[in-house]
Structure 1
Amino acid sequence: MIEAMETNSPTLITYNGKKVHITQKIIDKYKHCKVRDDIDLERIDENLTKKGGFLPFLPLIFAGLAAAGATAGGAAGIAKAVNDKKAEAAANAEARRHNMAREEKVRE
């Protein structure tokens, strides 16, 4: 790590059996330390091994949006079917009224 800081070049070191990438960001963060004992490799290793964040949740978010879209599409289909049924019933009622009026005229 000290060599990476002195040469100002990223490197890969092995610490406690784990490979730790010393990036330029880490070098910039610790290059101000006068005493090299201030550099805590365990803390650097813990920070580097953090997983997660926002990106692992992206597939779940997109799946939720797709499900919401499908639900909205299904609801729109149901609403259309209900409205079509009402319109058909109204048209049938009008046709029946018209036919009954025509039959009464014929009987007279």
Structure 2
Amino acid sequence: MKPETLVKKIIEAMETNSPTLITYNGKKVHITQKIIDKYKHCKVRDDIDLERIDENLTKKGGFLPFLPLIFAGLAAAGATAGGAAGIAKAVNDKKAEAAANAEARRHNLAMEREA
């Protein structure tokens, strides 16, 4: 499609104030309400730059490339929390065992005194 036809479609979308979809250089370009609001106040319609619109609408990156990193971080946090819970359990078990041993020793000494 020729650039002149594309500009006419953009101008038509601005005049009717309705978003539309245009194919430009093999890419589908959505003329959204945001773009319409941006360009509808231009004094001269020649100010519409298709390359700039195309650059602004082309997504680069996004959320999906970061998903593996997020899941890896969650797994590492879970492993750290599991390790910390294991250490806390070991410390509490050692304290409980020491208290039980002290009670058993006291009981044994008391029994020996009676005998």
CA distance, structure 1, for counterparts of residue 33 and residue 64 of structure 2: 23
Give CA-to-partner distance per residue, 1:67-86, whole Å, 9 cap, x none. 43553244134212222222
Are 1:84 and 2:93 an aligned pair? yes
Please list every run of 5 or more consecutive structure 1 residues that lacks an aligned counterpart in the other structure.
none
Q: Give the number of equivalent residue pairs.
A: 106
Q: CA deviation at 1:55?
A: 7.7
Q: What displacement does 1:92 show? A: 1.2
Give how far 1:105 is off: 4.1
> Which residue of 34, 42, 45 maps to 1:33?
42
More displaced 10-residue stretch of structure 1: 43-52 or 28-37: 43-52
Q: Distance in 2 between matches of 1:98 and 1:8?
A: 90
TM-score by length of 2: 0.69
- SS of 1:71's equivalent in the other structure is helix
Q: Which of the residues 48, 62, 71 maps onto 2:57?
A: 48
The root-mean-square deviation of aligned C-alpha atoms, in Å, is 2.8
Shift of 1:100: 3.4
SS at match of 2:72: helix
Task: Report the 3-state secondary structure (helix = DSSP H, G, I; strand = E; otherwise coil) of the residue aligned with 1:53.
Answer: coil
Name which of 104, 109, 113 aligns with 1:100. 109
Which residue of the partner structure matches residue 23 of structure 2?
14
- Mapped to 1, the partners of 2:34 and 2:92 lie a distance apart of 62
Distance 2:21 2:70 in 1: 35
Superposition TM-score, scaled by structure 1 size: 0.73
Runs of at least 5 residues in structure 2 that lack an aligned partner in the other structure = 1-9
If asked which structure has higher relative contact order (CA below 8 Å, sep 6+), I would say 2
